[in-house]
Structure 1
Amino acid sequence: MAKQKSEWFDWIKALLIAFALAFIVRTFFFAPIVVDGPSMMPTLHDRDQMIVNKFLYDIDEPKRFDIVVFHASDQKDFIKRIIGLPGEHVAVDDDVLYINGEEVKEPFLTAQKQNRMSTNSLTSEFKLEELPGEYKQIPEDHVLVLGDNRNNSTDSRMLGLIPMDQIVGKTSLIYWPFDRMQTISK
């Protein structure tokens, strides 16, 4: 009887430790997210399930073209791509991205640009000064984000610049559905 109680106690202890570890990992390191909507098409599809690395930006700086999850409101997280970094000026003219006046290629948009109707622009023209906040350059601890589906994305063009403390983390791994399982690179 004592052996049976000891066995139960060991099982309960193991389960409590497992739940505690799962809670710590999910709270501080990694979390699942489900893509909601078409704003990141064709890179990400509606209902793709991904893993968010929540601690990366505690040890490293964000990089241009990272795909990030951020708090758009108290109830809603968005997933977008970092386009502009602190200290930079961003503009789009005739579907060309300019960072500090220099043209920057966006390889993830190549297919979309080739398949669009010649009269339709993929990204409406804008300058950083025209966005909410009217900044001349992106301030420290902020980034400019855009969705890959530029004509159907609520991003920095409407929301303004995103403070770094609103970023949940970086995501690059699609784990569901299985036929779309992949690591997203730029």
Structure 2
Amino acid sequence: MNKTSERKKFKLKRPERISSEKQKKTILSAFFFLFFLFVLIWGIRTIRTYQVDGLSMNPTFEDGDRLFIAKEKQLVRYELITFFPDEQKKTSYVKRIVGLPGDKIRTEGNALYINEQLAENSALTEGLEAKKLPDGTLKVTITKEVWDALSDLEEIPADSYFVLGDNRSNSTDSRHLGLIKKDQIDGVVIFRYYPFDSIGLVK
């Protein structure tokens, strides 16, 4: 075989190699595009924005703070959630979970006792209507309507939660609204993105 035929064979192989590299780049680009699209769709479905309106969560949040909330997140004690009250479907509140399904409760007069030690979070034990009792229960003053709804219960039912605002003297929460059902909850607060000097994860 002469040198001319060897060069011809070499020249025939180069386009195949270039074509193969282009195919790899195209497949890789398509993969990254689909991955980006998946992340975008997942984010739209599971992450929402929320703007704080009012002073009921001071000092944790200020009026106008902007938050990210996660829709598919496990609900645990002290978590901050957003929810829609039954009577105000278009108004969303942000509050803190202090009572979970299965927590022992009892009513006495206009007071509700939640038999859980809540002292580990100072924001929950401050305020005019919340007092840490010697036996570790949390005592809050509730409205007559809430008392009527809870007076026959010995524990918080399944898929129900007792929530409070951190600013107890200026908050409409479970003391006035009663227990919050799981299907009323829109999501769990995970991140504050505004104001810029307060950006960060929310606890």
Could you tell me the TM-score, scaled by structure 2's length? 0.64
Between structure 1 and structure 2, the one with the greater Rg is: 2
Q: Which runs of 5+ in 2 are unaligned?
A: 1-35, 131-138
For the residue of structure 2 that corresponds to 1:81, the secondary structure is: strand
Size of the alignment, in residue pairs? 155
Give the letter for the 1:105 counterpart: A
Quickly say closer, same or farther: Cα 1:174–1:70, change in 2 above 3 A: same
Could you tell me the TM-score, scaled by structure 1's length? 0.69
| Residue 67 (str. 1) matches residue 80 (str. 2) | yes
Aligned 8 A contact 2:104 2:156 in 1: yes
- Distance, in Å, in 1 between the alignment partners of 2:148 and 2:193 is 35
- Distance, in Å, in 2 between the alignment partners of 1:91 and 1:179 is 42
1:87, distance to aligned residue in structure 2 (A): 1.1
Q: Which runs of 5+ in 1 are unaligned?
A: 1-17
- Distance, in Å, in 1 between the alignment partners of 2:99 and 2:143 is 10
The match for 1:105 is 119
List 4+ stretches of structure 1 deviating above 4 A: 18-24, 127-130
| Residue 158 (str. 1) matches residue 153 (str. 2) | no
Give the letter for the 1:40 counterpart: M
The match for 1:25 is 43
1:128, distance to aligned residue in structure 2 (A): 10
Quickly say closer, same or farther: Cα 1:67–1:90, change in 2 above 3 A: farther
Deviations for 1:126-176, whole angstroms, at most 9, x for unmatched residues? 379963512332100100000000010000011110000111111031110
Quickly say closer, same or farther: Cα 1:171–1:132, change in 2 above 3 A: farther
**Map 1:1-186 → 2, pairs under 5 A:** 22=40, 25-26=43-44, 28-56=45-73, 60=74, 62-72=75-85, 73-90=88-105, 99-100=114-115, 102-109=116-123, 113=126, 121-123=128-130, 125-126=140-141, 131=147, 133-134=149-150, 135-185=153-203
1:64, distance to aligned residue in structure 2 (A): 0.7
- Distance, in Å, in 2 between the alignment partners of 1:143 and 1:53 is 18
